[in-house]
Amino acid sequence: MRFVYVMDPMDRVLPDKDTTFAFLRAAQTRGHESLHCELRDLFVKDGDVHARVRQLTVSDAPPHAVFGEPQVVRLADVEAVLIRKDPPFDTPYLYATLMLERVRGRTVIMNDPRGLRDANEKLYALHFAKYMPRTMVTSSEEQIFAFVKEVGGRGVIKPLDGAGGSGVMMLLPNDKNARAIIQTVTGEGSRLAMVQEFLPAVEKGDKRVLLLDGEVLGAINRIPRGDDFRSNIHVGGSVEPYVVTPEERAMIADMSPRLKKDGLVFVGLDVIGGKLTEVNVTSPTGIQQLSQHENRDVAVDVITWIERKSADFRPSLKSIPGV
Ligand SMILES: Nc1ncnc2c1ncn2[C@@H]1O[C@H](COP(=O)(O)OP(=O)(O)O)[C@@H](O)[C@H]1O
Ligand SMILES: [Mg+2]
């Protein structure tokens, strides 16, 4: 099969850490062809969306990525399109999701472009507000102050478009920097920010639960380093195995129909002390760390899911053994 990966340049990808690299490796092991492109390589001609791609071979040893010659493919002709571009969600990203609308229903797209557009990673969690810590979204400095007081004096403020812990800060009582922090995150009151009650359980870790088509694929726990409250791997959080609790399973079962309806197949939930803080959809990570703990390549589960799904679009493939 041919899979197109719409993603960042390969020199930004860490072979031993990044989930997209694990997908590339697993797909290659299963005999599929990987075609790499960036957002700017997508184009529409005569009403149909295409991409300028290069065949990509990956390897754990350097060189980690070897490219073939540039070629053009019509996206409806390949077996799957994996949208794995890291945030930010900017205008080029928005346009890419709008162009990719043209392939819905004609091949597998993971995740669905409309779902990606609808699901701001911070705001989408509000569909499941009953599982969240107390949360407010506002640009008003005074409202933020009042809210933090209301939730016990300690809060966390986050930009709506951040990732990897970037711009996430603690709001503490009597901190003479608090006003400056709020003004920085809200752009002097010109931008919305999310404010949450501070969850002390974060000390024990922020769980990353990976979901595939609404089902639990596995989970890891990310423990903050001693001198930070943020536990993102990106800012030095350490990873340990984690088993999803029955309460978390019940929450996921409740969330699953909505995720499926929105075409959000590969999703990473952030859960602190049983509370949902974020629903990562653009390019969730964690599968390599999960694989290490499970002693098997969990990325294979995602690739085999894509193989099975693509058979829905290519009935003839149903006769291939193992598909
Ligand atoms: N309500 C909260 N209470 C305590 N810590 C939090 C809270 N929300 C987030 N954090 C910490 O900040 C980190 C980043 O927050 P998150 O909302 O996941 O944004 P992102 O990962 O997109 O930067 C989390 O991994 C966690 O360690
Ligand atoms: Mg997060």
Name the pTM for this structure: 0.95
CB neighbours of 12 closer than 8 A, spacing ≥ 6?
86
171 alpha carbon – ligand 1 mean position (Å): 13
Q: Is 281 a pocket residue for ligand 1 (Cβ < 6 Å)?
A: no
Pocket flag, ligand 1, residue 248 (CB < 6 Å) = no
Predicted confidence at residue 173, as pLDDT, reads: 84
Which pLDDT value is given to residue 314?
A: 79
- How many Cβ atoms are within 10 Å of 94's Cβ, its own excluded? 14
Q: 107 CB less than 6 Å from ligand 1?
A: no
Q: What is the per-residue pLDDT for 319? A: 52
Peptide bond before residue 88 is cis, with ω within 30 degrees of 0: yes
Q: State how far the alpha carbon of 248 is from the alpha carbons of 200, 216, 295, in Å.
A: 18, 10, 23
pLDDT at 323: 47
Ligand 1 pocket, 229 CB below 6 A?
yes
State if residue 268 touches ligand 1 by the CB under 6 angstroms criterion: no
- DSSP secondary structure letters along 71-86: EEEEGGGSSEEEE-PP
pLDDT, one tens digit for every residue, the chain (323 residues): 999 999 999 999 999 999 999 999 999 999 999 999 999 999 999 999 999 999 999 999 999 999 999 999 999 999 999 999 999 899 999 999 999 999 999 999 999 999 999 999 999 999 999 999 999 999 999 999 999 999 999 999 999 999 999 999 999 989 999 999 999 999 999 999 999 999 999 999 999 999 999 999 999 999 999 999 999 999 999 999 999 999 999 999 999 999 999 999 999 999 999 999 999 999 999 999 999 999 999 999 999 999 999 998 876 655 555 54
Helix or strand or coil: residue 33?
strand
Q: How many helices (H) and strands (E) does the chain have?
A: 8, 16
Catalytic residues: 122, 158, 208, 222, 230, 270, 278, 280
SS3 content of the chain, % helix, strand, coil (to 5): 35, 30, 35
Q: Which ligand is nearest to the Cα of residue 222, counting in written order?
A: 1
97 CA to centre of own chain: 15
d(CA 168, CA 234): 13
Residue nearest to atom 18 of ligand 1 (CA): 278
Ligand 2 centroid distance, CA of 168 (Å):
10
Report the nearest-CA residue for atom 22 of ligand 1: 163
Element (H, E) at 66: strand 65-74
Distance between Cα 218 and ligand 1 center (Å): 20
Ligand 2 centroid – CA 300 distance (Å): 24
Both tokens of 183, joined, read 């003004």
| Distance from the first to the final alpha carbon of the chain | 11
